[in-house]
């Protein structure tokens, strides 16, 4: 998979992709993540990519020209399955969407900044708009990083134990059950005995029950997907 991320401040994401699972995924060649500085596509010597909104009002808007130049250059080099804009008014991201996007081959992620992007860029180039929640960030960089992480960890050979992704919260519309590790007792708090007995069938049943109970208590809305 290849993910191209367009941003006016791409250095915000350097550390995020340089460590842990995301770094290993790139080292293994499972995914290629490329950052593109929108300022490189500015049409003036000041590398300006934003301007005041027509009609007045507070804030700055990313201009359409550098966005169009960057996307068209990328599309001239390869075919993309989706051109995604990270925006608060997009469809809220979830595990089902991450699963779907993990099956794609090439993605472009466009990060908004300030008050957003010229609406014409959305109309001309964007195939999907995604939000990571009902709140506003200073820019789409963190949202793009979160979206990329949720996709990349699902790709084959990324996680050391491939079944880990399959047992994550939301994969089966349930939250993940409690997990424990050594020591078996800490300051009087003990690990449930059933997890120490070695009966894998009983352990799996316990985990299923706990996942259901935790979901019913914390996110009962998710249980609607099971009906």
Domain layout of the chain by residue ranges? 2-152, 167-226
Give this prediction's pTM: 0.88
Q: Vertex 168, ends 200 and 2: CA angle to 5°? A: 130
pLDDT at 173: 80
Q: Is residue 227's pLDDT more than 60?
A: no
Q: Is residue 13's pLDDT more than 90?
A: yes
Dihedral angle, C-alpha 62, 65, 67, 73, nearest 10 °:
-170
pLDDT tier for residue 62 given thresholds of 50, 70 and 90: very high
Give the right CATH number for 2-152 from 3.40.50.300, 3.40.640.10, 3.10.105.10, 3.40.1280.10: 3.40.1280.10
pLDDT per residue as tens digits for the range 147-199: 999 999 999 999 876 546 656 666 678 998 999 999 999 999 999 999 999 99
pLDDT at 105: 98
Helices (H), 2-106: 20-27, 64-77, 95-101
Lowest average pLDDT, out of 17-26, 58-67, 110-119, 158-167, goes to 158-167
pLDDT at 170: 64
CATH architecture designation of domain 167-226: Orthogonal Bundle (1.10)
For residue 33, list its beta bridge partners: 3
CA–CA gap between residue 168 and residue 131 (Å, rounded):
21
């Amino acid at each position: 998979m290849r993910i191209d991320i367009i941003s006016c401040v791409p250095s915000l994401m350097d550390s995020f992709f340089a460590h842990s699972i995301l770094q290993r995924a790139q080292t293994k060649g499972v995914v290629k993540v490329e950052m593109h500085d929108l300022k490189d596509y500015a049409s003036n010597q000041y590398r300006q990519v934003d301007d005041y909104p027509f009609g007045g009002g507070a804030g700055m808007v990313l201009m359409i020209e550098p966005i169009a130049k960057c996307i068209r250059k990328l599309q001239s080099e390869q075919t993309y399955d989706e051109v995604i804009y990270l925006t608060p008014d997009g469809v809220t991201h979830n595990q089902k969407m991450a699963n779907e996007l993990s099956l794609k081959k090439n993605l472009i992620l466009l990060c908004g900044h300030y008050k957003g992007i010229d609406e014409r860029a959305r109309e001309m180039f964007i195939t999907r708009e995604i939000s990571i929640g009902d709140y506003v960030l200073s820019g789409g960089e963190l949202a793009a990083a979160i979206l990329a992480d949720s996709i990349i960890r699902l790709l084959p050979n990324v996680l050391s134990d491939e079944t880990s992704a399959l047992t994550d919260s939301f994969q089966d519309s349930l939250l993940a059950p409690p997990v424990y590790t050594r020591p078996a007792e800490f300051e009087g708090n003990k690990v449930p005995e059933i997890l120490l007995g070695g009966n894998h069938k009983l352990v799996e049943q316990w985990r299923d029950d706990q996942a259901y109970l935790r979901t019913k208590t914390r996110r009962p809305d998710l249980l609607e997907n099971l009906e």
